[in-house]
Amino acid sequence: MLATHTVDPVDFLRVALPLAARMIHPARGRQPLTPRQLEVSNYLAAYIDVNSYAPSLKEIAEDFGFASLATVVEHLRNLAHPHHVHMNGTEIFTFTLREVPGIIDRTLLNAARRADDVDYFFLHQANKFILNHLVKKIKLPSEKCPFSIGSYGNTNGASPAVTACHAVADVNRDRELLAMFVGFGVGFSWGGALVRLRPGTVFPIEQSQWMEKIEENR
């Protein structure tokens, strides 16, 4: 399921117009594109050349396998900006598998707890590939490591909390839970917190009427 993201039309035009100008004048104020950026740029140019209009955010997401429309917007912003920011996916993957298991171990050690004492581990929802390898690496039961990326995409720093609301609101309604929240990513930063969630602490995610209409029209 493609996760949706509200995009302000004015904000998108601020992205799209500089992008179009730089596609027409690619040498002005540009640094070399990464392979992924070049792929997206060539796709946009070819699409516009054939159709005389730009593809929708949903089309770009589906054609490139992006998890959410927010990811598409970020790619377009990076292309439109004169100094391209990009992620080294291989290094991020290596960093995650190297550091995150240690975060969990140290957090448990500082709290004088064992992994078996923890009801749930809410990890940053980077992407499904990283999460699957990470859960396998830390050797935790998959039922203790719920995912939300399939429903909401990568919601950045909020993703551990979003995952908790997505997965355990009903469980926490009447039962106290011991949960670990683990964040990692930006600037190769990381952190973990062991939290006691009293009954009724975690609220479910409520779907707006606008979102319900989108689901009906799919």
pLDDT at residue 3, as a whole number: 41
pLDDT at residue 16, as a whole number: 52
Sheet holding 120-123: strands in order across? 120-123, 177-184, 190-197
Q: 182-191, pLDDT tens digit by residue?
A: 998 876 788 9
State the SS3 of 110-138: HCCCCHHHCCEEEECCCCHHHHHHHHHHH
Q: Tens place of pLDDT for every residue, the chain, 218 residues?
A: 344 444 444 444 444 544 554 444 444 445 566 677 778 888 888 887 787 777 888 888 888 887 777 777 777 777 766 555 556 667 788 888 888 999 999 999 999 999 999 999 999 998 898 999 999 999 999 999 999 998 888 888 899 999 999 999 999 999 999 999 999 887 678 899 999 999 999 999 887 766 666 666 66
pLDDT at residue 88, as a whole number: 64
Taking each helix axis as running N to C, give the angle between helix 9-24 and helix 69-80, from 0 to 180 degrees, rounded to the nearest 10.
Answer: 40
Architecture of domain 9-80: Orthogonal Bundle (1.10)
Look up the CATH superfamily of 89-197: Thiolase/Chalcone synthase (3.40.47.10)
pLDDT at residue 159, as a whole number: 94
Q: 42-54, pLDDT tens digit by residue?
A: 888 888 778 777 7
Q: In the chain, what are the domain boundaries?
A: 9-80, 89-197
Is the pTM higher than 0.75? no
User: What Cα–Cα distance (Å) separates residue 22 from each residue in 60, 82, 130, 186?
Assistant: 19, 9, 33, 27
Residue 127: what are its φ and ψ, rounded to 5°? -165, 165
